[in-house]
Homo-oligomer: A and B are copies of this chain.
Amino acid sequence: MARANLTSAVVIAAAADLADRDGFDTLTLSALARGFGVQTASLYSHVRDRSTLIERIHQLALAELADRIALAIGGRSGRDALAALADAHRDYARRFPGRWTALQRPATEATVRSEPAARVAGLTLAMLRGYPLPESELVHATRLLAATVNGFLALEANGSIAHREPAVETSWQRALDVLDSAFRDWPTEGRS
């Protein structure tokens, strides 16, 4: 019987693939082991337990997402950059639903302080700096962006707005328009 020759990274990658293929909540160590032709208990040499496995998928997804965002933003700025970033999120969520679900889970302190997390945050900030936002408002803008994009993707993911007229694409464009306008003309304390 040939060995599978597992490593931590291989196990995590396979787990992410499995979550993408069969859905996040059917991601089970048993199924994972089955895929490797290995006993379930053997996986515990490579992963502490199920919850840390999910945390590692989270980190993996964060790194992959950061790469895609960086690639997408490229030399763009303004609305183009905003759309590129948001679409990168959306593409990722659609192509890798399991990984994306893992991303929605509460991040560990370690994950929050990880390099990929900082990279995503940095790219987002860089994009936002293309707008005339006061430095003190950047956090609020970031939060709004994250809330809107992730909220929209969550709605799509749970089927609330899929396969319904009018097309979701239009709604998505409207959302991006609204964000673009908001960043361009940001409401501060004493607006009229």
Contacts and interface: CB of A to CB of B under 8 A. Distances in A.
Interface of A: 104-107, 136-137, 139-141, 143-144, 146-152, 154-155, 158-161, 166, 168, 170-171, 174-175, 177-179, 181-182, 185-187, 191
A144 to B, nearest CB: 5
A187 B177 contact: yes
Nearest to A146: B155
A133 to B, nearest CB: 11
- State the number of copies, please: 2
A33 to B, nearest CB: 22
A144 B174 contact: yes
Given A148-B148, A149-B151, A175-B147, A158 B191 contact: no
A181 B192 CA distance: 11
Contacts of A136: 166
Contacts of A139: 166, 171
A141 B182 CA distance: 15
Contact of A137 (B149, B174, B181): B174
Contacts of A191: 177
Given A104-B158, A148-B151, A152-B151, A178 B178 contact: yes
Contacts of A178: 144, 178-179, 182, 187
Contact of A140 (B137, B170, B182, B187): B170
Contacts of A151: 146-152, 154
| A148, A151, A171, A186 interface centre (most CB from chain B within 10 Å) | A151
A150 to B, nearest CB: 5
A154 B154 contact: yes
A161 B187 contact: no
